A and B are shown apart, each in its own frame.
Chain A
Amino acid sequence: MTILTKELTDRARQALGMPDCQYAEIRISSGISTIISLSGDEIESMSSGESMGGSVRVLAKGAWGFVSFNDFNEMEWSARRARELALAVTAREKSSVTRSNPRIQEFATDVKRDFADVPLEEKYLLIKKYNDILKSSRKIQTTRALYRDLQSEYAYLNSEGVDFRYRKSFSGVSLTSIARDGAAIQPFHESIAGYGGFEIVQGHEATAEFVAKTATDLLDAGTPEGGKYRIIADQKLAGVFIHEAFGHLSEADFVHENKPMRDIMVIGKSFGPPELNVIDDGTLRDHTGYIPFDDEGTTPSQTFLIREGVLSGRLHSRETAAKMNEPATGNARAISVFTQPIVRMTNTYIGNGPHTRGELFGSMDDGIYAIDVIGGQTNLEMFTFTCGYGYEIKGGKKGRMFKDIVLSGNVFTTMKNIMMIGDDGKMFGGLGGCGKGGQSPLPVSFGGPHIMIKDVLIGGKE
């Protein structure tokens, strides 16, 4: 059954034909999802829900009006209201957008096993199996095992003749074990997600085992002393670092009207060693940041943010692209049809370097091997991440296990301090995602090879 009927999209196309508008777009969607959440021996929630609605965004006289609705009967009213809101403003500086070419296309996720054909009981038994593994050790206090699937249809139409449809099927599991020994409480977590059918969430028993074992092992891990260290970051930490610390700086909405920032983010300026390449690529179908088109109807592209150590590109919406006279990159994304698209990343990673993993570890006598990430934040100049865990490296040998490794530093200095880049790149996604401007979590992926960085500040008692 489709909610987005031809009658509805015809009405949308009709509604876009308004006078005095530089640009107008309508996005409508309808979706249904199932969530099963288990915790310890309990079923926290068995829930399903549907969400439908849309929004109209209008650019007129250089200002934006945006109206969202969940009753399709209000679509025409919403279009008129969006235009009124845009015209209500006398913009001192006017926004504009790059042009798009008329194009009609349909996209759909490749699905092996449709969620609609999977009995609820089978979904429940799958996540129960993972949950049983997560709580398998005696020291596990509690667990959280979350299953989520989502099927949606989405229509994007604009006043320039772009008409896109997307039938999306997405699912994932999020697996957490919380180990406890006396007063010590230690969580560990992994999440797997992707576009496809039920096959995406099957076969992750080994991940559940790893989560339970790591949470338990970390109970006995120590914390490193505070100070400056040489570190090797694993692929996941390298990916989060490049997403948080550099990727957000490449989002042009921050740069485009900010003169001092523009002076820092100059194309051609050196940001790291010649081995360093940083890429954002929304076309990679196997990763959670994949989009067939962004929420302004631009198809995604492979954008080199850094090529051979030098700043070579940035991420654009059609508005920031017009402002900076650069091409739109397909990075205007919204978390749902109820919110406005803003400049976001997709699949962002450090490209492979020349060194094997053995060469990296062979070149570090003393330091820390920092693995995985619990959380990270940046204010665009400074960053801080907490690693999932790590190991002391002494005399070239892997030593004690560490937990609560908090890395921080200045973004630009740290990028210049990258000493070696491995050749074992790997991508990560999951049910979580990226947050910006109150829109969270947006599905993205990140990754890279192992990298070695010198002089990284690690918090803690000295």
Chain B
Amino acid sequence: MTTPANLKYTKTHEWVKLEADGTVTIGITHHAQEMLGDLVFVETPAVGCKLKQGKECAVVESVKAAADVYAPLSGEVVAANAELADAPEKINADAYAAWMFKLKPDNPAELGGLLDAAAYQAIADAEKH
């Protein structure tokens, strides 16, 4: 699967999409779900929760592994994808469609510090070898 060019990325395998209303949508990358294997549990942050960039804010679990999801930006959680609680496999099926939560960023300029698709792809490729 190609890494969508319209998204921003983190070294810790989150993707970030800037929406028209200024909020951002966040999920984990295709490469991340591939490394974890079949997901069995997803915990999303509570709406209203204030997140700080780089801090743990969610968890994804497979049978043999668990990974923390880190907030790519600071901000307030405005929505969480409730569907994932019953169907974590949606992330395996399409990691870029199965978003985890939406943030209202405190400082939209932080978005500029994130990776673009090519830079992230290079990191993912390096991990595969």
Q: Do A and B bind each other?
A: no
B interface residues (Cβ-Cβ under 8 A, vs A): none
A interface residues (Cβ-Cβ under 8 A, vs B): none
